[in-house]
Amino acid sequence: MTMTEEDLKKYEEGFYRLADALPHMVWTAPPNGENDYYNQRWFDFTGFSRAETFQHEWWIRLVHPDDRARVLAAWHKVLANPTLYEVEYRLWEQATGQYRWFLTRATPVYNLQGNVIKWFGTCTNIDDRKQAESKLLFHASLAQNITDAVVATNLDGTILLWNSAAEALYGWKQEEVQGKQVNDVLHTHYTRVKWEEWVADILKTGSWRGEIRQQRQDGTWLDIQGGVSLVRDVNGQITGLVGLFRDITRSKQIAHELAESEQQLHAAIDVAGLGHWRFDPQTNLFDCSARCKAYLGFSPATMVSLDQVCARVRPPEQGSALLDTLKKQELFEKEYQIQWPDGSLHWLAVSGRGQYDKQGRPIGMAGVTLDITERKLGEQRKDTFISMASHELKTPLTTIKGFTQLLKRQAKRLGLPEQMAVTLAKVEKQANTLTKLVNELLDVSKMQAGQLEYTWGKVEIDQLLKDVIETVQPTSPQHSIRVHGETGCTLTGDRSRLEQVFINLLTNALKYSPQADRVDIFPACSEQSVEICIRDYGQGIPPEEQKHIFERFYRIDRGKNQKVEGLGMGLYVAGQIVEKHGGQITVDSKEGEGATFCVRLPLSHPLENAR
C-alpha cells in the first residue's frame, strides 16, 4: 500500500478506532519495527501493561522459547527487506497460563518515494486448527502402525489415506493410490450388495462390518474381513469413509478344510452306526447328531440338554458321572439303559473325551454312542441260559454225589475189592469239581442279577487264612504256602464268601506258577482296614491284560502250549464279593516275574445299605 504522511494519519485514526473493536489482536510499528500500537485485545490476552509492552522487542518474551529464534529471525528479515510477514508461533495467555498458537501477519505501507512508513499487523488465534492438525498427525501415525489395512476416502471415493499395512495387503504403494478412486484401485466383490447399496447402507446405519473379497495388485483374490465407519468433521458433517481390513483368506481356507474333514469324519462315524455328540458345560446343551438323537428317542429337530438325556436313563441319572469324568480328565465309558417316550427300552454304549482350554479348564466333551440293545439282549439270554442250566445240573449232580457216597459206604460194609473204593473216590472227586463249577456258575448269575445273598458276621482274619490254606494246600503239594505274620484282626463280613475270595486267589497263584515251589501271603492290619497280599512266582500277567482279568468270563489267551483249565469266573467272583464288603482288589505284576494280588477290606462295613 502506498500513501502520503497525511493520508496515513487519517488512515491510522480510523484504523485504531476499528482495531479496538476487533476480536483479533492488532498492532502497528514504524519502519524500525519498534511497536507503537497494540489494540485492547492484546493487553487483555497477554496481561501486560503499556509501559512494559512498548519496550524494545518486549513482545518476544511472550513467545514460546522454542519459537523465539525463528520468529525474531523472520521479523528482522522483513524489516530489512520489507515484504508480507507471516509466521506461526505460540503466545503466552495470561488468563490460562498456557501458550496458544497464533498466525501473525503484517503488511508494510509505503510512501510515494517507495519507503516503508508503517507496519500493520494482526495475530489470529489458530490454536484449534493446530490441535486438529496434531490430532490428525497422531491418527495418521496410528494408522501406519496398525497391522490391519487402513483406507480412508472422501465421499466421492477418492483415497486420502492408505497405510503401510494396506500397501502390504493389496500390493500398491501409497503414492500410487493417493487421490485415485478407491473402486478403480481395489476391485471388490461385495458378497450380497452392490457398492452403491453398500455405501447407502453405511450412510444410513453409520458403519458396516462384514466379509468381502478384494483383488490384489497381482490379480489374486483375498478374503477380507472389514469394518467401515463414517468420518465427520467438527460440525458433524459427513466428509468420508474410513475402513479397516484384514486378510482372512488362510483362516477361511482352514475353516473350509476343517468343515470338509469334519463332514467326512461324521459320514464315517455314521456309516459305522455310531451317533456322535458334544456336551457344553456352560450351556448344558447336549449337541447330538441325528443318529444319536434317534438312539435316545428324540426327533432330529429337538434341541437336547444333558438333563433331558439323563431323564431318559433307567434308573434316571443326574449326569454327575459325565461331569465328574470331565473334571477328572478321564475317558468316559458307560453303558446305559434308555427308555423312549413310547415306553420301549434300549441299551446304549456312550463314550467320550473331555476338551480343555490352556489352563486345563473343561470346555466340552465329545464322543460317540452305539446302540447295543441287540448285544445286551443276547447277553441277557446267555445269562438266563447259564442260570437255568446250572439249576438243571445241580439236581442230578446232588443225586450222583449222594449215590456215590451210598455206594462207598456199601462197598466198605460188603467188603468189596479195594479197586472199587478207589474208583468211587474218583467219581466223587469229579462230582465235587463239577458241583464247585456249577455253584460258581450259579453265583455268577446271581451276582449279575444282584441276587447273591450275604450272611454278615464277625470274621477272624488269621483263622480264615489258616482254613483257606488247609483247603488249598493239598491240591498242590509241590508248593509251600506261607503266611508271613499274624494280624489279630476281626472284621465284619460274610465268612464263606471271603473264604471263596482267598480260595480263588490262592488257587490261581498255584495254577499259574507250575514251576514255582512256594506262594507267600502277607497280611497286615491297620485301625480301619486289613490288607492281605498273595504273592506267587509264576508267569505273571501282561500290563494290558491287568484291567480285564476281573471281567466276567475273561481269560488270558496264552496259546496252546500253556493251557490251564478254568472258565474265567474266579477273579470276577472275588472282585464282586470284595466290592460288596466295601473293599478293593488290586494286582501288581510283571510278565515272567509272578503276580501279587492284594485285597483291602474295611474292618467295619461302610456301606450299610449294601447288606
Position 512 contacts ligand ADP (CB under 6 A): yes
**What count of other Cβ atoms lies within 10 Å of the Cβ of residue 102?**
24
Position 585 contacts ligand ADP (CB under 6 A): no
Cα dihedral 44, 50, 51, 57, rounded to 10, equals 80
Please give the Cα distance from 221 to 248 (Å, whole number).
11
Closest to 500 (Cα-Cα) out of 554, 569, 550, 431: 569
Position 354 contacts ligand ADP (CB under 6 A): no
Nearer to ligand ADP, 385 or 554 (CB): 554
Stretch that binds ligand ADP, among 44-52, 93-101, 112-120, 552-560 (CB under 6 A): 552-560
Stretch that binds ligand ADP, among 134-142, 146-154, 380-388, 548-556 (CB under 6 A): 548-556
Please give the Cα distance from 476 to 527 (Å, whole number).
35
Question: What is the smallest separation between the CB atom of 580 and ligand ADP, expressed in angstroms?
Answer: 17
Nearer to ligand ADP, 509 or 525 (CB): 509
Position 567 contacts ligand ADP (CB under 6 A): yes
Nearer to ligand ADP, 163 or 589 (CB): 589
Instruction: Specify the DSSP element, H or E, that contains 8.
Output: helix 5-21
Is 362 in contact with 281 (CB distance < 8 Å)?
A: yes
Q: Is 161 exposed, middle or buried (0-12, 13-18, 19+ CB in 10 A)?
A: buried
Position 538 contacts ligand ADP (CB under 6 A): yes
Stretch that binds ligand ADP, among 28-36, 94-102, 390-398, 507-515 (CB under 6 A): 507-515
Q: Which of 157, 297, 568, 602 binds ligand ADP (CB under 6 A)?
A: 568
Position 570 contacts ligand ADP (CB under 6 A): yes
Nearer to ligand ADP, 33 or 566 (CB): 566
Q: Is 146 exposed, middle or buried (0-12, 13-18, 19+ CB in 10 A)?
A: middle
Stretch that binds ligand ADP, among 11-19, 213-221, 276-284, 567-575 (CB under 6 A): 567-575
Q: How many residues bind ligand ADP (CB under 6 A)?
A: 21
Is 105 in contact with 122 (CB distance < 8 Å)?
A: yes
Strands 457-460 and 238-247: unpaired
Beta strands in 141-283 (DSSP E): 149-154, 159-162, 188-189, 207-215, 221-232, 238-247, 274-280
Phi, psi of 476 (to 5 degrees): -145, 85
Nearer to ligand ADP, 346 or 535 (CB): 535
Position 67 contacts ligand ADP (CB under 6 A): no
Position 575 contacts ligand ADP (CB under 6 A): no
Q: Which of 539, 578, 582, 585 binds ligand ADP (CB under 6 A)?
A: 539
3-state secondary structure of 519: strand
Please give the Cα distance from 246 to 169 (Å, whole number).
8
What does the radius of gyration of the chain's CA atoms come to, in whole angstroms? 50
Nearer to ligand ADP, 527 or 544 (CB): 544
Position 509 contacts ligand ADP (CB under 6 A): yes
Nearer to ligand ADP, 91 or 534 (CB): 534
Question: What is the smallest separation between the CB atom of 560 and ligand ADP, expressed in angstroms?
Answer: 14
Stretch that binds ligand ADP, among 39-47, 464-472, 480-488, 566-574 (CB under 6 A): 566-574
Position 536 contacts ligand ADP (CB under 6 A): yes
Position 508 contacts ligand ADP (CB under 6 A): yes
Stretch that binds ligand ADP, among 355-363, 440-448, 551-559, 578-586 (CB under 6 A): 551-559
Please give the Cα distance from 575 to 460 (Å, whole number).
20
Stretch that binds ligand ADP, among 77-85, 440-448, 459-467, 560-568 (CB under 6 A): 560-568
Query: Which spans in 274-372 are helix H?
Result: 290-296, 306-311, 320-328
Position 500 contacts ligand ADP (CB under 6 A): no
Question: What is the smallest separation between the CB atom of 590 and ligand ADP, expressed in angstroms?
Answer: 11
Contacts of 329 (CB under 8 A, 6+ apart): 354, 356, 360, 362
Please give the Cα distance from 354 to 329 (Å, whole number).
6
Please give the Cα distance from 215 to 518 (Å, whole number).
84
Is 141 in contact with 42 (CB distance < 8 Å)?
A: no
Stretch that binds ligand ADP, among 39-47, 224-232, 324-332, 564-572 (CB under 6 A): 564-572
Position 595 contacts ligand ADP (CB under 6 A): yes
Question: What is the smallest separation between the CB atom of 587 and ligand ADP, expressed in angstroms?
Answer: 8
Is 232 in contact with 239 (CB distance < 8 Å)?
A: yes
Question: What is the smallest separation between the CB atom of 571 and ligand ADP, expressed in angstroms?
Answer: 3
CA pseudo-torsion sign 412, 418, 419, 421:
positive
The grid coordinates listed for 579 are 466290592
Instruction: Specify the DSSP element, H or E, that contains 6.
Output: helix 5-21
Unique residue bearing C-alpha cell 456322535 = 276
3-state secondary structure of 426: helix
Nearer to ligand ADP, 283 or 562 (CB): 562
Q: Which of 572, 576, 578, 580 binds ligand ADP (CB under 6 A)?
A: 572
The grid coordinates listed for 376 are 445286551
Nearer to ligand ADP, 321 or 556 (CB): 556
Which position's Cβ is nearest ligand ADP?
566
Closest to 565 (Cα-Cα) out of 508, 497, 518: 508
Nearer to ligand ADP, 46 or 539 (CB): 539
Nearer to ligand ADP, 291 or 535 (CB): 535
Nearer to ligand ADP, 362 or 540 (CB): 540
Using CB under 6 A, list all residues that contact ligand ADP.
504, 508-509, 512, 536, 538-541, 549, 554-556, 566-572, 595
